[in-house]
Amino acid sequence: MLYRTHPKILHGSPASYARIRCACGYRWDPAGPKRSSLYAMNNPLLETNGLPAFSAIEPVHVRPAIERVLEANRHDIRSILSRDIDGWDSLVVPIEDLQHRLNTIWSPVRHLNAVRNSEELRNVYNECLPLLTEYHTEFGQNEALFRAYLRLEESAGSTLSPAHSRAVKNTVRDFRLAGVDLSGEKKSRFKAIMQKLASLSAKFEENLLDATNAWTHHIDDAQQLRGLPEQVLELTSKNARESGQEGWLLSLDFPTYHAILTHAHDRSLRKTYYEAWMTRASDRGPMSGRFDNGGLIPEILALRHETAQLLGFDNYAQYSLATKMAGAETEVMEFLKELAEHSVPAARKEIEELETFAGQTIEAWDLAYFAERYKQQRLQLSEDQLRPYFPLPRVLSGMFDVARHLYGVEFEEDHDFDSWHPDVRLFAVRNAAGEPRGEFYVDLYARPAKRGGAWMDECVVRKALGNGTIANPVAYLVCNFMPPVGEAPALLTHAEVVTLFHEFGHTLHHLMTTVDIPSVAGVNGVPWDAVELPSQFMENYAWQPEVLPLISGHYQTGAALPEDKFEMLKASRAFHAGLHSVRQLEFGIFDFRLHSEYSPEDPPCVLDVLKEVRSNVAVVPVPEFVRFPHGFSHIFAGGYSAGYYSYKWAEVLAADAFAAFEERGLFDRRTADAFRSEILERGGACDAMEAFVSFRGRKPQIEHLLRQSGMLR
């Protein structure tokens, strides 16, 4: 949605492989080859039997555990290499095993750093990043291992199953992308760059979080808060009381920012908030110069370009595309341009209508506000007005019903588990035959020390345990909704319901895989421009007349969402589709051009590139003070660098996939079975385009997205 932080899936660096739930005898001896004092420490991170013991994990456990497992992995790699290792079982199985041993320990640390951040944890997390990067670079540059994989690919290529073959092929590719072919000096330079980039990205994210947390806005005049939803008023007044103040204390978390930009009648309050948000971690705005990411951006871009050139690519965009579904740079830019050709005229028309409605020029801090007023007038619909109809328990159970109808899966809540916060819940999933398929944690409310946005992350990846049994996958589904106030359950806007469906789509992709080779199971090994297909596909279900009765019901009366409101809600889906689209295209083109046009002799001024992109696709003027790139963590701290276009790319795939259900029925058995078996179950074990074609019978077409968003002219 327009002002929602973009849901993201986090599985970027090699250091973020998934965690494995060890069971049925698969047990790593944490004392390793020789017993160490760690064993006596009773380190919960080294206790790899079962789900993570979150409540017992302390920052002090992190570094010793990571050092220990890295030492053990290095030892085991040497040991594997000393044997005859040309076969799948003697090479790939033990290597996948030890990579997973590392993930077993790192995944809960990475997760806690995101959902229960503290200075101590952050410090040890940052201390470990270079250790992990060093290990992964060393692994990726291990020539003996690379040659062994190459021999396996050449000798056994035709006898391997498609999934096995894919796993080997990906690993060979990743060795090359990790610089295994480089000569001595270049190899060490590559290694040094990886280290530096990891710490720069971590610093970027850290600055942004600090800047977001450092700013609050105190208000003692109720007049300034006119228009804001009751929920926000209650929460911010509670915040003020808790800090010993009168009035209202507003923080800079996303739900508050969004509520103010959308609802506050006071234009100066909207502008104040817009400025604070859009200048986070920069040289402008109320925190000017504090936590400034300005210096990190050119450094990150230069190092990325150098990485790409070391590996023989012209630029970092080419390097990024080596692991994507999209083929060449031109294919991506032409795709974005084609979408822009449809989106920009639609957005221009929408902004003209909005200015006529508002009777004034729309500034950046007016857009959401007048869009909401206009939507209310035209559709008689307000986002917050529908909250009472979407109480969280109802939405969750209805969402599970949708998955049950589609794939025959059942969900059961598990109340007995160790957690990182009392609000967290855990659900187990069984398939139609009643067999356990996995579990997922659900952590839905915004709170201090929790990173903003919504995401799915892996806790455990499906894996064969070697004794004929399977370790089932486990996921984290994380959102940042406004917590319940008083006795009422959490009440969601429909946009939040859509976000929840999105992350649930990722979760199903992760849990329903039937591949048991971790590097290509679930979302692993799926190209980033295809990985948003199952999530964006799932969003469609939150908009269907057949589904709304399942997910809505007034939290006090139980009354279903009235039909007129439902019709308006449906009409609202395409509302300002052009404006939504140009915003995503602006980010996507900016990101791709930044990385594909980079020249070390003449490094770009990122703000100038953004300005130029905006001159082509933006329809609302952006004030000079805006420092959007300084907060663009997707590309500077996340895995979307030269890959932000992936959202739109996958949106086309998702719209086209959903069109198959529109044509044959929302819960059509054969279509749902095909989607499950060709897309969800196969994970990264096959080519993304082949998987799509197997499901749809042809390559993806852009028209379905344009039609669904009302832009087809």
What residues are annotated to the active site? 503
Residues 530-549 that bind Zn ion (CB under 5 A): 532, 535
Question: ∠ CA 518-521-525 to the nearest 5 degrees?
Answer: 95
| String of contacts with Zn ion for each residue 475-514, x by CB under 5 A | ----------------------------------------
Least separation, in Å, of the C-beta of 209 and Zn ion?
A: 20
Cβ closest to Zn ion, residue 472 vs residue 535: 535
Please give the structure tokens belonging to residue 705: 């997205």
Stretch that binds Zn ion, among 346-354, 437-445, 526-534, 610-618 (CB under 5 A): 526-534
DSSP state of 541: G
Residues 260-319 that bind Zn ion (CB under 5 A): none
9: contact with Zn ion by CB under 5 A: yes
By the 8 A CB rule, do 488 and 497 touch? no
In angstroms, the CA 677 to CA 429 distance is: 17
In angstroms, the CA 639 to CA 527 distance is: 11
Cβ closest to Zn ion, residue 438 vs residue 453: 453
- Short-list 285, 266, 284, 267, CA closest to 276: 285
Q: Give the containing element (helix H, strand E) for 457.
A: strand 455-460
Cβ closest to Zn ion, residue 4 vs residue 218: 4
Residues 172-231 that bind Zn ion (CB under 5 A): none
Region of residue 100 (left: phi > 0; alpha: psi -120 to 50; beta: else): alpha
In angstroms, the CA 344 to CA 373 distance is: 22
Longest dimension (CA), the chain: 77
In angstroms, the CA 516 to CA 284 distance is: 50
| Gyration radius of the chain's alpha carbons | 25
Least separation, in Å, of the C-beta of 573 and Zn ion?
A: 18
Cβ closest to Zn ion, residue 10 vs residue 609: 10
In angstroms, the CA 358 to CA 422 distance is: 45
In angstroms, the CA 270 to CA 352 distance is: 21
- Short-list 693, 676, 400, 694, CA closest to 512: 676
**Cα 125 vs. chain centroid, distance in angstroms?**
20
**Residue 159 CA: distances (Å) to CA of 95, 101, 169, 464, 485:** 20, 28, 14, 20, 60
Question: ∠ CA 508-512-515 to the nearest 5 degrees?
Answer: 135
Stretch that binds Zn ion, among 2-10, 322-330, 458-466, 568-576 (CB under 5 A): 2-10
In angstroms, the CA 468 to CA 122 distance is: 39
Stretch that binds Zn ion, among 1-9, 312-320, 377-385, 458-466 (CB under 5 A): 1-9
160: contact with Zn ion by CB under 5 A: no
Beta carbons within 10 angstroms of residue 674's beta carbon? 17
Cβ closest to Zn ion, residue 9 vs residue 610: 9
Instruction: Return the residue of 1, 7, 98, 197 that touches Zn ion, per CB under 5 A.
Output: 7
Cβ closest to Zn ion, residue 228 vs residue 654: 654
| Positive/negative CA dihedral, 211, 457, 121, 249 | positive
Least separation, in Å, of the C-beta of 7 and Zn ion?
A: 4
Least separation, in Å, of the C-beta of 532 and Zn ion?
A: 5
Beta carbons within 10 angstroms of residue 187's beta carbon? 18
| Positive/negative CA dihedral, 299, 300, 301, 307 | positive
User: Which residues contact residue 21 at a Cβ distance below 8 angstroms, ignoring those fewer than 6 apart?
Assistant: 50, 51, 459, 460, 471, 472, 474
**Cα 215 vs. chain centroid, distance in angstroms?**
25
Please give the structure tokens belonging to residue 22: 């060890």
Stretch that binds Zn ion, among 69-77, 158-166, 468-476, 524-532 (CB under 5 A): 524-532
- How many residues line the site for Zn ion (CB under 5 A)? 4
Q: In which residue are the tokens 């895995």 written?
A: 639
In angstroms, the CA 98 to CA 71 distance is: 11
- Short-list 6, 627, 620, 712, CA closest to 371: 620
Stretch that binds Zn ion, among 8-16, 368-376, 562-570, 655-663 (CB under 5 A): 8-16
By the 8 A CB rule, do 293 and 630 touch? yes
Cβ closest to Zn ion, residue 364 vs residue 492: 492
**Residue 474 CA: distances (Å) to CA of 133, 411, 439:** 25, 13, 5
* Burial class of residue 433, CB neighbours in 10 A (0-12, 13-18, 19+): exposed
684: contact with Zn ion by CB under 5 A: no
Residues that bind Zn ion (CB under 5 A): 7, 9, 532, 535
